[in-house]
Chain A
């Protein structure tokens, strides 16, 4: 079963690139990797998803090495509004025991 591990917190200055890594040593062949962002008093919101290699969209990039045992969310040039908790989710929808959210990484962007 693919459990996930993330750093509890990170600080970054505005304008810097931020990389948040999620470890998932027991990831299964059918598992995908998805990242969510959560602001206070709101539900999580989808950021990006990948299976292997690199995925990029308008807000982030996701890097997945060949062994898929970890993944890195990259946020380019962060701003104060990127201060949030970021969650890594690994699994698929074949069953409830195949979905694992990490404990989240609290990113604080400093002016």
Chain B
């Protein structure tokens, strides 16, 4: 079974703190994703990585950065957390190649910024 794990299920941080969200997948997938999910807005893509050290901005990259130093690990960084970044964050991975392969999601991290 493919497994995507996220470092925390729940996280509470203060405004201005630097926040790291970690995601690890165990299926040697090329592609990894970070989404945020808010009521009424569905899933919105923050960043996409298609290889180690490679990344592309998604729909809402402002206020976020990412790091992919190893194939299995994709980190989302909030340089200076703000209250409007309170949300559910979901990581996903999928194999590479042409087409729209199945994305495997982690359980999510619910981040609260106070």
Contact = CB atoms under 8 A, between A and B. Distances in A.
Contact of B50 (A32, A42, A89, A93): A93
Contacts of B105: 42-45
A39 B57 CA distance: 27
Contacts of A32: 99-100
Contacts of A93: 31, 50, 94, 96-101
A31 B100 CA distance: 8
Contacts of B99: 32, 92-93
A7 B66 CA distance: 33
B11 to A, nearest CB: 15
Interface residues of B, number: 32
Contact of B40 (A34, A43, A45, A103): A103
Which of B45, B92, B106 gathers most chain A CB within 10 Å?
B45
A88 B67 CA distance: 28
Interface residues of A, number: 26
Given A41-B108, A101-B43, A96 B102 contact: no
Contacts, number: 73
A99 B45 contact: yes
B56 A103 contact: no
B42 A101 contact: yes
B47 interface: yes
B96 A96 contact: no
B48 interface: yes
A111 to B, nearest CB: 26
Interface of B: 4, 31, 33, 35, 40-45, 47-48, 50, 56-58, 90, 92, 94, 96-108
Interface of A: 30-34, 36, 41-46, 49, 87, 89, 91-93, 95-97, 99, 101-104
23 contacts: A31-B100, A32-B99, A34-B100, A42-B105, A42-B107, A43-B105, A43-B108, A44-B43, A44-B103, A46-B104, A49-B100, A87-B42, A87-B43, A93-B50, A93-B94, A93-B97, A96-B47, A96-B57, A96-B58, A99-B45, A101-B42, A101-B45, A102-B42
